[in-house]
A and B are shown apart, each in its own frame.
Chain A
Amino acid sequence: MGSEEERIAIEKEKVLMVGAGGIGCELLKTLVLTGFKHIHLIDMDTIEVSNLNRQFLFRKSHVGQSKAKVAREAVLKFRPGVDIVAHHGNVKNTEFDIDFFKQFSVVLNGLDNLEARRHVNRLCLAAGVPLVESGTTGYLGQVTVHIKGKTECYECQPKPAPKSYPVCTITSTPSKLIHCIVWAKELALAKLFGDKSQVSDLDVRTSVDGKSITSEVENDDVKFFELRSGESFQQFAARVFDRIFGYNIEIALQNEETWKARRQPDPLYLDKILPTQQEEEGSAAEENGNGVEIEQHPTVSAMATLGLKNPQKIWDVQENARVFLESIQLFFKRRSKDIGKLVFDKDDQLAVEFVTAAANLRAHSFGIPMQSLFEAKGMAGNIIHAIATTNACIAGLIVLEALKLLTNRTEQCRMTYCVEHPTRKMLLVPVEPAEPNPHCYVCSETPLVLEVNTVTATMRDVIEKVLKRKLGVDSPVIMQGSSLLYETGDDLEDDMAAHYASLLNKSLALYPTPITTGVVLTVEDYHQDFRCSLHVKHRETFDEETEPDGILVTGDIASVINAEQPTLPTKTPAADDEDLFNKEENGHGDDNKDDDDDLVMFTPETTAGTKRKLEEDENLLVEEKRLRIEEPPVMV
């Protein structure tokens, strides 16, 4: 390692870095020092004040600007000769398709969320590019290497729900309720009732025309969230409401760059949500409070004074607004001793009520489904944050693995854990990478590329021309993420059969979630124990002579046929998988569901009779399929 020949070899390689945050800044620096000369960098985020303690390529003057672009410029200052291409965008954007990934020798992830990791994993598998994956939480970190066919892919093992969240997602661009809960708990609650010296970021930070307005927001920040003289608790609560759900959202909306590819949040103002009830609501706490400080504070409850009984029920916007106002007032009336030092505790009823209401209101503003107090309480778990030193170690380890991959030492690749307390004297613990999981739905079959005009082609075209004719699938079940698009079978309910039939003639781009470039369809045939993924690639025109179907499936089809040999399922699903399977099956149409921790691994639960029949027909089945795929598809 480190020899001159290796250095020269590295200089020619083109690498893709996904993420220019905590790990990304460290990684970019280490890559460039190591001698990498061709680097592409993708990040959709803009720089925030609280990034500055670890994302060392950024300065206060950069707040609001693209991380990818600023990181590139910063690195060019100390190594100007390096060719760095910065992409300010979401890695899930269609421009970053399989062909884009194919130009790289290795992909290095410095990502902060599971969804993007899964997406990159699939693209790396499809493009046949090795992936070095990483993650840190606090003092803990890990680096893993994923080589198609040699080691497990990122999705071979089910992943636990993520424990840390990107800062900007929390402060500016929440897309899930958990982001809003983190915001409510770590920022809103802490800012109003916690130690003021320890919190920040309650205001949505942004910049207008590249000029940071952070400092102005900061200046009145502290005073704004204090009770003014002569102000009633109710007036204070209402003022805070309009500020954090209304005004701050308006400010955030001014940063057009942020909302280019996102749904814009709706500012919420109290007079719109509770137009007439403001005065009476405020009095509820007055009457019930009697101005007496009650010692057993955990029993103080906004739900109780508002007459809300069921913690499992999801409150509507009005109810959430009432709980928000009421809980703030109750903190002042009954819990004044805690103000200034409150720390969230999931057993503190009033704090949980406040967090639930604040999170739900923010969720509503951002178009995210709200949740019950019961669910929100469960989600408000401990959040671990990233630190520079772990990121630096992890970035170093990523580069070491990249070097092994690029200098034909893949047998030396290791997954490495960075731990807080030594195990067997080790702080850095290398482990041999695991073999691919033969039942992994993502990597066990060769991913295929479906080239199709998504505007004109229908699902019927895909099924007839590709699935049945080209891939020999008999009874396809088609999934997009965790939502079911199509299935067949005698046992299908009439109404579902009708629903699927109505979708069949819809063009792909007009599906509820449009099927277009970048979308991955999972195709299964339970009878054949077959599964594969189709990476959709929109294409306008096809050659009438050579591509008469106007639809192409490319990739290593031969291996798909081989993998498809009918064999009995060797793995019965674990109890959890089975539950999930059932849940998914019963949950048609619910495709907005968070699929982060879903193990979408469908092992067919066919009856023993069906299996035996399949076995008997094996030879015939294989023969038939070979015949069907006589005309070779165009290989990529």
Chain B
Amino acid sequence: MESVSELLTEQEAAIYDRQIRIWGADAQRKLSKARILVVGITGVVAETCKNIVLAGIGSLVLMDDSPMTFEASAANFLVPFDELEGQGNSIATVCASSLRDFNPMVQVSVEEGGISSKPDEFYDRFDAVIMGRSSITLRTQVNEACRKRPHRVAFYSVDCRGTCGSLFVDLQRHSFTSKKAGDDKAAQQDISFPSLQEALNVPWSSFNKRTSKLLFALRIIDQFEVGVGRRPGQLSSQDLPDLISYRGKMCAIQKVPESFVPENLLQKLASVGGTELPPVCAIIGGILGQELIKAMSCKGEPLKNFFFFDASDGKGIIECVVPSQMNDH
């Protein structure tokens, strides 16, 4: 608690003035202590990083050894034009330098190596992990590693493909204050989250008709990419027949009709492959940035636990996917 009583510096107070008026100095102080790990820097991740760096998060460690390519930076404004010429720097190195420039008060550093090569203790250095595009296997692995640590390491995964964007949140157990409509005083609340694996295990037959179809379509894509050994996002319209056969298998296992996952949605996701649309990245990166701020400052009810956006219909939908035994609402 001693950290909370520390005063913000004059500089912090000046720069964060507007947002402090929204979430308060206490939330700002908590935010400035938060340590975030970022794994895989796509366009939407760059957007998210910008948002939390501007907001004054404590520190950010970037992991992405992939070399700078034009393709990799298409939706990433953290990459200055001269870096596209191929100076041999990794994406993480280039982005870290831009982010430092956005807000010198935030510590931004680069961690080399792949995330799967890190020991579990590695996660003790962080309060939250953001995973960009990665296989479903890796996402569940990292999520499980976060869950094993002695202190809570929040887990977020995010991806944008064409008009679609998706977000997953696992805060494990989370306490927050929030104001309810009509109430003057903020009340303390507790909330618990399932792991990614637990959420994936929820049977499809338990969902209703209004559940976002993206939840299921993206699962099929995930399974397909892992099943045939594709790099995430490496698919095209030609893969549609295979995706339809994956749909058949998965719907059979889940005991739902194949029409549960519309073919045109699979077609759309197949044809865009891994392409990110910058406006979709901006939207999802905005939502994710806000969720991180809420969670790290323990202020405001967090999103639980999936979020889907499709620019085709413009809806941004929260899906609460929890095993029936832990449904606390």
Q: Chain A: residues with CB nearer than 8 A to chain B? A: 1-2, 26, 29-30, 32-34, 49-50, 52-54, 56, 59, 77-80, 138-139, 167, 186, 195, 197-201, 218, 222, 383-400, 403, 414, 416, 421-422, 425-430
Contacts and interface: CB of A to CB of B under 8 A. Distances in A.
A393 B286 contact: yes
Contacts of A195: 25
A52 B19 CA distance: 11
Contact of B17 (A32, A199, A403, A425): A199
Given A389-B290, A396-B286, A53 B17 contact: yes
Contacts of A421: 181, 301
A77 B102 contact: no
B244 interface: no
Interface in B7-28: 7-8, 10, 13-22, 25
Interface string B255-292: 00000000000000000100101111111011101100
Contacts of A2: 162-163, 272, 275, 277
A49 B10 CA distance: 12
Contacts of B47: 392
A383 B14 CA distance: 18
A290 to B, nearest CB: 35
B56 interface: yes
A29 B77 contact: yes
A384 B21 CA distance: 8
A403 B51 CA distance: 24
Closest 3 CB pairs of A and B: A428-B316, A396-B282, A430-B314
A142 to B, nearest CB: 12
Contacts of B210: 425
B104 to A, nearest CB: 8
Contacts of B43: 33
Contact of B50 (A32, A56, A384, A385): A56
A77 B279 contact: no
Which of A29, A30, A391 gathers most chain B CB within 10 Å? Answer: A30
Contact of B283 (A385, A386, A422, A428): A428
B278 A425 contact: no
Given A26-B282, A30-B278, A80-B81, A138 B22 contact: yes
B13 A200 contact: yes
5 contacts: A52-B54, A222-B10, A387-B22, A388-B19, A428-B309
A197 B283 contact: no
B69 to A, nearest CB: 15
Nearest to A415: B314
A625 B79 CA distance: 63
Given A56-B50, A396-B286, A425-B319, 13 more contacts: A2-B272, A33-B278, A78-B77, A197-B13, A199-B13, A201-B14, A387-B19, A389-B293, A392-B286, A396-B282, A426-B316, A427-B316, A428-B315
Contacts of B278: 30, 33-34, 396, 399
A60 to B, nearest CB: 8
Contact of B290 (A78, A139, A167, A400): A139
A430 B25 contact: no
A30 B43 CA distance: 11
Contacts of B21: 186, 383, 385
Contacts of A390: 286, 290
A92 B47 CA distance: 33
Nearest to B104: A60
A428 B275 CA distance: 22
Interface of B: 7-8, 10, 13-22, 25, 43, 47, 50-51, 54-56, 74-75, 77-81, 101-103, 162-163, 181, 210, 272, 275, 277-283, 285-287, 289-290, 293, 301, 303, 307, 309, 311-319
A65 B210 CA distance: 50
A400 to B, nearest CB: 5
Contacts of B280: 396, 400
B15 A52 contact: yes
Contact of B287 (A387, A389, A400, A429): A389
Given A50-B15, A218-B14, A392-B289, A430 B281 contact: no
B162 A385 contact: no
B279 A34 contact: yes
A400 B315 CA distance: 12
Nearest to B46: A33
Contacts of A186: 21
Contacts of A198: 8, 13, 17, 20, 25
B311 A400 contact: yes
Contacts of B17: 49-50, 53, 198-201
Contact of B282 (A80, A395, A426, A429): A395
A392 B288 CA distance: 11
A199 B272 CA distance: 48
B311 A77 contact: no
Given A53-B54, A386-B18, A389-B289, A428 B314 contact: yes
A139 B289 CA distance: 12
B163 A54 contact: no
A10 B118 CA distance: 44
A53 B16 contact: yes
A385 B282 CA distance: 20
Contacts of A394: 286
Contacts of B285: 392
A388 B319 contact: no
A429 B315 CA distance: 6
B55 A33 contact: no
Given A50-B17, A56-B54, A426-B316, A388 B282 contact: no
B271 to A, nearest CB: 9
Contacts of B309: 428
